[in-house]
Amino acid sequence: MRRLLLLGFLAFLLVWASSPLMAQIQEGSPSGAQARETVQGENWDPQEVYRRARLLVDKGSLRQGLDLFLQLREQSPRYRPLVVQRHICQLYERIGDISKALEEYEGFIRRFPWARDRVQMLMRMAAMAEVALHDLGRAWRYLEMIPEDKVPPGDMAPYLFNKGYLLEKMGKKDEAVEYYRRLVEEYPQTVGGFWAKERLKELTQNEVSGGQERDTGR
């Protein structure tokens, strides 16, 4: 039972930066084909198109709202570019097209490297790559794009745990242990610090058990 709780917590912590992810995928998955939403040239008003796109999303017509945001980006690239790009990223995520969502998030990071939520966005991307696509290498690459001195203090414990846990899953136990130990030393009172201690215990026990088996086999 304890092990099941641990695994459940690890999965939760990995999606710390994207808690609505799975619920939104289920909520936003279209049940049937939807007509594409477009605006004709003579009626083009970027402010009105933006308003209509937001209204469609609020009503649950995610795909149609996405179509309008894509059209808005193409035809009025200077109209609120950061906000429009963010909507596109999030809508691809919500309808469950994670590969396309990550492609758009990567475009966001390249285009707006100064965005205030860049760190949280990269952590969100890492969670999607690991949880939805099971691509550990890609998840690690996103975390490596985060300069440690740019991580807000309140996000440091999850950041360190995520790096340690990904390294552990990739088979790099020694490197994972370094992150876990640092987390336990620097953030002992956090939830991440507690579970880092648990991971260290298990990894240490495995090493001891493995050594005993080798000694017995001689």
Domains defined for the chain, CATH in brackets: 2-211 (1.25.40.10)
Rg of the chain, C-alpha, whole Å = 21
- What's the confidence (pLDDT) of residue 39? 72
pLDDT in tens, the chain (218 residues): 555 445 554 554 554 444 444 444 333 444 444 567 677 666 799 999 999 999 999 999 999 999 999 999 999 999 999 999 999 999 999 999 999 999 999 999 999 999 999 999 999 999 999 999 999 999 999 999 999 999 999 999 999 999 999 999 999 999 999 999 999 999 999 999 999 999 999 998 876 555 544 545 55
Give the pLDDT score at 147.
95
Rounded Cα distance, 7 and 20, in Å? 19
Whether 129 contacts 139, CB under 8 Å = yes
Q: What is the pLDDT of residue 2?
A: 52
Number of alpha helices (DSSP H) and beta strands (DSSP E) in the chain: 11, 0
Q: Distance between CA 12 and CA 5 in Å, rounded?
A: 10
Give me the pLDDT at residue 27, please. 38
Give pLDDT, residue 25.
38
